[in-house]
Amino acid sequence: MAVELLFPRLVIFGASGPTGRHVVQQALKMGHVVSAVVRSPEKFDIKHEKLEVIKGDVFNSESLVTIMEGKDAVLSCLGAHGTSVFRHTTLYSESMKAISSAMEKNNLNRFVCVTSWGLDNDPAKGDYTVIEGQFVPDAAWYIPRADVGDFMLASLNTHDWDRKCVAIGRKN
């Protein structure tokens, strides 16, 4: 029997990245209606009757207001490459300003965002631990992107993680 979704209509940023692609595909499988916001729609090859692919600028709040109209929740799998302690990025901070402002204008208050490290492309294993805080003690160095994506979607259908910064990791 299909699970009743608390937040059926999703806007997904970073949908073209490896974690984002997994989240889009898994969300569609679960029955969500998905708006995937990407920079290059012509390169985005996932097709589904419940998926719309939208070209969007994550720094332009006004343009995001329309994209979010009528949606229930927003997820971000945005990620910056080539960053280090010497090469900072403002992708996360600046996109979050635009995204949260557009959400506010649409009275949307459900947001799940990943800012992670230590990911691999293995299939989901489902054996991860989630705790409130910044790291899981004694966790392995890597976790499949698929598990991270699965948790992001699972967190939409519970209030257990509301307003929390959580860490997710696989036990060694």
Q: In angstroms, give the least distance from the CB of 118 to ligand NAP.
A: 6
**What minimum distance in Å lies between the beta carbon of 166 and ligand NAP?**
14
Give the tokens for residue 16: 């073209």
Identify the residue among 32, 79, 108, 155 touching ligand NAP (CB under 6 A).
Answer: 79
Summarize the chain as % helix, strand, coil (round to 5).
30, 25, 45
> Residue number with the shortest CB distance to ligand NAP?
79
Subset of residues 10 to 49 that bind ligand NAP, contact rule: CB under 6 A: 14, 16-20, 38-40
Closer to ligand NAP by CB, 33 or 58: give it: 58
Which CB atom, from 5 or from 58, has the smaller least distance to ligand NAP?
A: 58
Using an 8 Å Cβ cutoff, are 156 and 73 in contact? yes
CA-to-CA separations, 146 to 27, 120, 164, in angstroms, rounded = 12, 9, 21
Residue 22 or 32: the one with the smaller Cβ distance to ligand NAP is 22
Please report, as residue ranges, which positions from 113 to 172 form the binding site for ligand NAP (by CB under 6 A): 114-119, 145
77 binds ligand NAP (CB under 6 A): yes
Smallest distance from ligand NAP to CB 170, Å: 15
Q: Which residues contact ligand NAP (rule: CB under 6 A)?
A: 14, 16-20, 38-40, 58, 77-81, 91, 114-119, 145
